[in-house]
Structures are given as structure tokens and as C-alpha cells.
Amino acid sequence: MNDGKITVGVISWYSTDQIRDLFDSLIANAAHLENIEFVICDNTGGKDTRLSEVFGPYYKILRFSPSVPKEWKPRRAAGSYAHGMGLNYLMDQIQTEFCLFTDPDCMVLMKGWDIRLKTMLDPKHIAAGAPYHSSKIAKYHNFPSPIFSFFNLTAYKNIQADWTPYRLTLTTIITDQIRRIPAIIGGYLGYKIWGGSFYISKTAEFMRLVFGNSGKDTGWRIAKSAKKEGYAARLLTTAVVHNQLAPILIGKQSIIDLMTEYELFLLDGIPFVTHLYSSGHRGKGNLNKADQRWRALAISSREILNTTKLV
């Protein structure tokens, strides 16, 4: 399966508005749109009729109803578990050489994102994308998170990639909770004392190594399986402080606000993708003020990149 094509896959839980902005940004910035397919996994099982009305005539929609085993924690069943199960189902339906799995509340800012992501992969590096934000010290950071993950489909199937989180023994749950306490407290104190620069410091890097995977969220099994098989990933950089930006972009207010108020990931100092945080709290596609501001900043930042000579 070496067709060079990319399938963009996204899980929707009443996320029509977010997906529309996401797809618009991907389409506007693609170098070879003819090699890209778009697939939406409707985790409502078809209850979200607006999704079909907006995207049905243009994109493939897969209806999926996650069935969560009783032994899994009910409070997580409608969130990370269902999301991970949807990603597993979606991955099984895809036939192209490459996949990009992204959260609905993302917008791509970099021109030629498809070419750039492809060049980041090789026989050893089977994935590229955005890790969990540096401030999330208890998460894994050595592999792309489900927020924005580009990968070689054959390689992922060879390592039996499983997106589902948690499903842990009681001993592991207790141990992880104990490990998370100093990670969370240490991260909070570091930010209060040293500000955002703490998250790119050697101290925070050490904390991420010590406490990593104590918050075993969506995708952590893939990171573990890949490491076991000797594979690695190439990662975008979490934007935390202004001097991480390319010199020509320092002082661009929309970009600074985007990295200060939301999540922004860079490639060689240039904004690549931004993430609002989570679409779960919004429900049924209703945009709130935070969504609107994030969207406005993302669009403004993209315009800056389009009108700035970066090289």
C-alpha cells in the first residue's frame, strides 16, 4: 500500500462546526489536495443529523456507536474510551498509505502540511505530529497525541496499534494516581514560579520523563508498542514562550495570543497547527465565546503566515 495518499480521519461528537473549520484549513493549505481523502466517524451512531446535512454530500461519514464494557469506568465511557474506540474503528476502514487523525477543534496553519508531514516519516519514524502540551506533564510525550497524529498505516497495523486508553489493573490505577500527584503539583508550582518558560526547561523535561504515562490517555498504547518494536516519531514543538517563534514572527500579536491562550504547535519555529483544547464541553456544535476567539486568532495567524516571507 504505497499510493502516497492521505486519509484525514476525525471523530465527531456533535462537532460539525469545528470539523468544518478544520477541513477548510486543511483544504486551503494542502499542496496536493487530489491525494487527500476525508472521513468522519460519527460517534453518535447517526443521531447527529446536522453532520450528515452539512458533510454528507461531500465526505464519507461512518456511523459508529461505541459499546463500552461494564468494567470500564462509566464516567469516562462517553469521553476518552468512546473516542479511542472510534479511532480504532476508523483506522480499520482506511486503505490509504498515510493517515492523519486529528481532533475536531484543530486548525492547520502551515502551507504544504501534507508534504511536510510525509517528509518527516521514514522506516524508523512511523509517525509525526503534535505531542500532548508540555504543561501536561503526566501524559506521554515521546509520540504524537490523538490531537494531531500523522502515521504510516501499514506500520501501525504491524504494531497492532490500539487507541483506547486506561483499562488498567487496580494496582496500576493506584500507582499512577500516586505518581500523578507530584507531577501535577510540580507543574503547577513551576508555572507559578517561573512562568511558561518552565515547561520547556530541563526541570520540566526531567519531570516528564519521571512521571510520563502516569496519565494513560488516548494513544498511550501506541507509543508503548512502537517503542517496544524499535520505532520512533518526529514531533512538532509545543509553543510556550515567544522566542520559540521564528524571528520574523516574534511580535505578531495574533500568534502570541494563540500560543498564550490556547495550544499552538510549531515546526522549525513556524506555527503548524493550533488546538482549542477539547470539543466535549461544548456539545451539539454550539460555539461559545472561547471558540469564537480561538477561531478568529487562528484565521488571523494563518493570514499572517500567508503574507509573510518565511524563508
241 pLDDT exceeds 80?
yes
- pLDDT band of 284, cuts 50, 70, 90: very low
Beta bridge partners, 151, equal 99, 127
Long-range contact pairs involving 244-253 (C-beta distance under 8 Å, separation at least 24): 244/200, 244/269, 245/269, 245/270, 245/271, 246/270, 246/310, 248/308, 248/309, 248/310, 249/304, 249/308, 252/301, 252/304, 252/308
Percentage of residues of the chain with pLDDT beyond 90: 68
| CA–CA gap between residue 231 and residue 246 (Å, rounded) | 30
Handedness of CA 69, 141, 158, 225 (dihedral sign): negative
Question: Residue 105 corresponds to which amino acid?
Answer: D
Per residue in 252-273, pLDDT (tens digit) is 999 999 999 999 999 999 999 9
| Cα atoms found within 13 Å of the Cα of residue 130, Cβ hemisphere only | 27
Domain 6-305 maps to which CATH number in 1.10.287, 3.90.550, 1.10.3470, 3.40.50? 3.90.550
How confident is the model at residue 34, as a pLDDT? 96
| CA–CA gap between residue 224 and residue 231 (Å, rounded) | 10
Lowest mean pLDDT: which of 92-101, 180-189, 280-289? 280-289
Assess contact for 30 and 113: CB atoms under 8 A: yes
Cα angle 151-152-153, degrees, rounded to a multiple of 5: 105
Per residue in 292-307, pLDDT (tens digit) is 899 999 999 999 999 9
Lowest mean pLDDT: which of 12-21, 115-124, 175-184, 259-268? 175-184
| CA–CA gap between residue 253 and residue 21 (Å, rounded) | 21
Counting every residue, how long is the chain? 311
Residue ranges per domain, the chain? 6-305
How confident is the model at residue 281, as a pLDDT? 43
In the 3-class helix/strand/coil scheme, how is 152-197 assigned residue by residue?
EHHHHHHCCCCCCCCCCCHHHHHHHHHHHHHHHHHHHHHHHHHHHH
How confident is the model at residue 1, as a pLDDT? 65
Nearby residues of 168 by Cβ (< 8 Å), 6 or more positions away: 176, 216
